[in-house]
């Protein structure tokens, strides 16, 4: 989760769209929120693993309870994230394409705009070139902003390329969320079992004489 959050936050394609200076760049909010939530979840899971390991070695009910609480906290964070992923499945995609649309249209209206460099950077990062437009005046713009060696009429539509790229990335995130939620449930069951084992062993004065298999 920490690796995926870092790659998503600092990856060229994501950061390029996020850094475009639009007043209502809705993707920037999603971009930063996803990073901080991912890092917080990963830190919570690391803490849960450390506490559970220490609880097993020391046979401590207090550490076991804290480990269970961390697993439960991570589960409560992952479940809304998974629900948001399915109920707002197109929000990330739409926000990124809206940013590209606005940059593209601004360059189309004013070829000398400073956003021309931003548009060229997007084309180079996504290996795409312009978009299918009902206007007939896009050829000159796309010829100047396409990646080197790629002709505008043979280029990949950027909106389709962004959509295809995000679909693969979000599908991977959905799989990771599902697997992690399953492991959270498993972790809560194991820490509960460990806590009860320590409790009953302490009551029977058999502390240290049982083996976890």
Within a domain: residue 70? yes
Q: How many CA atoms within 13 Å lie on the side-chain side of 38?
A: 18
Within a domain: residue 111? no
Within a domain: residue 165? yes
Within a domain: residue 109? no
d(CA 184, CA 143): 51
Q: Output the pTM of the full model.
A: 0.78
Distances (CA, A) of 180 to 10, 46, 64, 183: 23, 13, 20, 5
More confident residue, 210 or 111: 111
pLDDT of residue 33: 92
Within a domain: residue 105? no
pLDDT of residue 209: 56
pLDDT of residue 128: 84
The predicted model gives 38-52 an average pLDDT of 92
pLDDT of residue 192: 87
pLDDT in tens, 182-205: 988 998 898 888 888 877 775 545
The helix-helix angle for 115-126 and 91-109 (nearest 10°) equals 130
The predicted model gives 127-135 an average pLDDT of 71
Within a domain: residue 147? no
pLDDT of residue 138: 52
What is the dihedral sign for C-alpha 104, 119, 170, 167?
positive
**Count of domains for the chain:** 1
- Which structural domain range is residue 21 located in? 1-100+116-129+157-203
Instruction: Flag whether pLDDT at 36 surpasses 90.
Output: yes
Show the tokens assigned to 146.
């396409």
Tokens 């058999």 identify what position? 206
pLDDT of residue 55: 86
Averaged pLDDT of the chain: 83
Helices and strands counted in the chain (H then E): 8, 0
More confident residue, 199 or 37: 37
Taking phi first (over 0 means left), then psi (-120 to 50 degrees means alpha), and beta for anything else, what does residue 129 get? Answer: beta
Instruction: Flag whether pLDDT at 86 surpasses 80.
Output: yes
d(CA 71, CA 41): 10
Within a domain: residue 69? yes
Lowest mean pLDDT among 17-21, 57-61, 78-82, 143-147: 143-147
Within a domain: residue 47? yes
Rounded to the nearest 5 degrees, what angle is found at the Cα of 191, between the Cα atoms of 188 and 195? 135
């Amino acid at each position: 989760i920490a690796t995926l959050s870092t790659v998503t936050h600092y990856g060229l394609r994501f950061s390029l769209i996020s850094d475009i200076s639009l007043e209502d760049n809705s993707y920037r909010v999603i971009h930063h929120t996803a990073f901080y939530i991912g890092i917080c979840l990963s830190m919570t899971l690391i803490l849960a693993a450390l506490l559970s390991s220490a609880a097993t070695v020391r046979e401590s009910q207090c550490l076991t309870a804290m480990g269970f609480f961390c697993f439960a906290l991570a589960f409560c964070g992952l479940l809304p994230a998974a629900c948001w992923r399915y109920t707002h499945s197109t929000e990330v995609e739409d926000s990124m394409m809206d940013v590209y649309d606005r940059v593209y249209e601004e360059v189309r209206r004013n070829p000398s705009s400073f956003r021309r460099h931003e548009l060229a950077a997007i084309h180079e990062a996504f290996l795409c070139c312009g978009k299918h437009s009902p206007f007939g005046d896009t050829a000159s713009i796309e010829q100047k902003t396409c990646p080197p060696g790629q002709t505008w009429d043979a280029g990949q539509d950027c909106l389709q390329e962004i959509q295809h790229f995000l679909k693969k990335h979000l599908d991977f995130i959905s799989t990771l969320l599902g697997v992690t939620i399953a492991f959270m449930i498993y972790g809560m069951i194991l820490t509960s079992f460990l806590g009860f084992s320590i409790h009953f062993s302490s009551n029977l004065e058999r502390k240290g004489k049982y083996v976890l298999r």
